[in-house]
Amino acid sequence: MNSFCDQLGLTYPLIQAPMAGVSTPALAVAVSEAGALGSLAAAALTDPDVLARQLAELAAATERPINVNLFCHAPSPTDPAHDAQWLAYLAPVFASLGSVPPAQLQEIYPSFRTSDALLAVLMQARPRVISFHFGLPTAAQLAALRQTGALLLACVTCPAEARVAEAAGVDILVAQGVEAGGHRGTYDPATEPNIATLELTRQLVQQTRLPVVAAGGLMDGADLAAVLRAGAVAGQLGTAFVACPESAASAAYRAALLHQPPLPTALTAVISGRPARGLVNRFMLEIDQPGRPPVAAYSRAYHAGKALIAAAQQAGDSGFAVQWAGTGAGRVRALPAAELVRSIGAELRQALT
């Protein structure tokens, strides 16, 4: 269909978003076997042995390419006073649930930028596609990854980030619009460009020399056709795949996505320390209030957020559960991944003709 598809042998110009915590190797394999590009979220795989094992399992399950996604955020400096202020703010909510907050916060998701061990695993496994979120690897890491021959994708949310990624030598830009579910890929979490997917795609196609993949709010073949007409070489869909049986989403998460009328989504940083879009929950409504103290840094804030969610669940309260979702969540379909890929492909053909 285009050079991107030809390069990877894809039938459809479609990438399944990595979605750490929800996607599974089984989902990635099903998507890739159906002719699109499946993704493995390696952001939470801090143990290099676990990553090596999963990459070996994927290689045994399919000969088709899989995208391996890495979080490349700046490591959060230790700041006990800031952490203590955030924990004190959360303490009354923990108390209302019959619990107490953690005594101190830890960075539960270290950055790939600090991990020589994970880099070594990738150098050995040589995945066909590697993508970056929250920023870029170090120059030395990028140079090493280029030697594997992998196609390197960088998520960007504005033209300024795109220029940085292009100068660093990545191969493709993933233009993440503000409609996207899950964590925003902003290099600086304090800055929100607030650019919609179609507009960002058009800007990057005009302002950069690199191919552009559009991401954010895309749910079906008509959405995919729209970004292709805007100049994208492919679209990346995440929320669309959460209700697939191959995902790790809970029954409650699936039910919330399928709820009609659609439930609202919002961006918040209070859950993890970085802005992310999800279905509106008690976490957003009760904690993300005017006058709150600055949120602890990512992923130290996520340590507190996960502890609060666990405390609520233990108390029988599901209102704090995090259900990341984009603005198109109301159009989710509970289909097997391969069937969903084929359906989107058929809709794309119809929309383009």
pLDDT in tens, 220-249: 999 999 999 999 999 999 999 999 999 999
pTM: 0.97
**What is the per-residue burial (b if ≥16 Cβ within 10 Å, else e) of 94-107?**
beebebebbeebeb
CATH number at residue 13: 3.20.20.70
> What mean pLDDT is predicted for residues 178-201?
97
pLDDT in tens, 286-329: 999 999 999 999 999 999 999 999 999 999 999 999 999 999 99
Residue 1 has pLDDT above 80, yes or no: no
In a domain, 101, yes or no: no
Residue with tokens 């795949």: 241
In a domain, 48, yes or no: yes
Mean pLDDT score of the chain, rounded to an integer?
A: 96
In a domain, 191, yes or no: yes
In a domain, 122, yes or no: yes
In a domain, 213, yes or no: yes
Could you tell me if residue 169 is left (phi over 0), alpha (psi between -120 and 50 degrees) or otherwise beta?
A: left
CA distance 62 to 40: 13
Residue with tokens 């879009």: 277
Residue 78 has pLDDT above 90, yes or no: no
Q: Which domain holds residue 182?
A: 3-75+110-241+333-352
In a domain, 258, yes or no: no
Nearest residue to 241 (alpha-carbon basis) of 46, 30, 9:
30
Cβ–Cβ under 8 Å, residues 130 and 171: no
Binning pLDDT at 50, 70 and 90, where does residue 45 land?
confident
Nearest residue to 23 (alpha-carbon basis) of 59, 86, 52, 66:
66
pLDDT in tens, 103-162: 999 999 999 999 999 999 999 999 999 999 999 999 999 999 999 999 999 999 999 999
Structure tokens at 4: 């991107």
Cα angle for residues 153, 6, 184 (degrees, 5° grid): 25
Q: Tell me, what's the pLDDT at 106?
A: 93
**Strand spans (E) along 9-80:** 14-16, 38-41, 66-71
Helix (H/G/I), strand (E/B), else coil: 219: coil
Q: Tell me, what's the pLDDT at 89?
A: 98
In a domain, 248, yes or no: no
Q: Amino acid identity of 189?
A: P
Name the burial class of residue 295, with classes exposed (0-12), middle (13-18) and buried (19+) by CB atoms within 10 angstroms of its CB: buried
In a domain, 324, yes or no: no
pLDDT above 90 as % of the chain = 96
| Phi, psi dihedral angles at 68 (to 5 degrees) | -105, 120
Q: In the chain, how many domains are there?
A: 1
pLDDT in tens, 65-76: 999 999 999 988
